[in-house]
Amino acid sequence: MPDIRSLSALRDAEAACTRCPLYRNATQVVPGEGPRHAQIMMVGEQPGDQEDKQGHPFVGPAGRMLDRAIAEAGLDRKQVFVTNAVKHFKYEPRGKRRLHKRPNAYEIDRCRWWNDIERAIVKPEVIVALGATAARSLTGRPVTLAKVRGQTLAAGDSRLIVTIHPSYLLRLRDDESKEREYNGFVADLRRCARLLHKAA
């Protein structure tokens, strides 16, 4: 692993990454963003279409859903470090649209070392895995979300909470299901504040 000690050096190194083929078709790398010493780190799956175009994580529809949930959970979005398990957008073209395609195990594992460096620099007290891809990256093994949701796991020196990815909420068509799942998502994020309070 390279000796990278700052987020700016990490961004430069990620921009030159060719560890898996995803860099070939993506517009650019999308590095993590947030305070250098954030207490909370949230890890998604991969950049989406808007993130790939703008070069920033969670700026599309799922990002707006995440921002809303963070605020409702009583957390300060500006104090949260947000990133993704995979740093390049994986998609398949459909006419003029680019449809999200889930990263495979190889791509997740090849990108994992960037997340390890991020965690070593930021040193978050609590990490939130947004979905199964992020959970796999953070634990190094496949994770069934339903089995670990609600638990507090270990991720190095940090505590790990596994929850849904906000894009899941966007796919729900039934209002009752969407409200129920959204409330559960906010409740998961509220656990971050409780864990930090216990540590204080």
- Domain ranges in the chain are 19-195
Q: In which band, very low, low, confident or very high, does the pLDDT at 13 lie, cut at 50, 70 and 90?
A: very high
Can you tell me which residue has the tokens 């790939």?
A: 52
Pick from 170, 24, 7, 4: nearest CA to 107: 24
Confidence (pTM): 0.95
Query: How do residues 57-104 score in pLDDT, each as one tens digit?
Result: 999 999 999 999 999 999 999 999 999 999 999 999 999 999 999 999
DSSP-derived 3-state class of residue 91: strand
* Residues 6+ positions from 85 with CB-CB distance below 8 Å: 43, 44, 45, 46, 103, 108, 111, 112, 115, 133, 134, 136, 137, 138
Classify domain 19-195 at the CATH superfamily level.
Uracil-DNA glycosylase-like domain (3.40.470.10)
Query: How do residues 31-45 score in pLDDT, each as one tens digit?
Result: 999 999 999 999 999
Orientation of helix 132-139 relative to helix 105-122, angle to 10°: 70
β-strand pairing of 91-94 with 40-44? unpaired
Query: How do residues 156-181 score in pLDDT, each as one tens digit?
Result: 899 999 999 999 999 999 999 999 99
* Token pair listed for 167: 């894009």
Rounded distance, CA 21 to CA 141, Å?
Answer: 22
DSSP-derived 3-state class of residue 157: coil
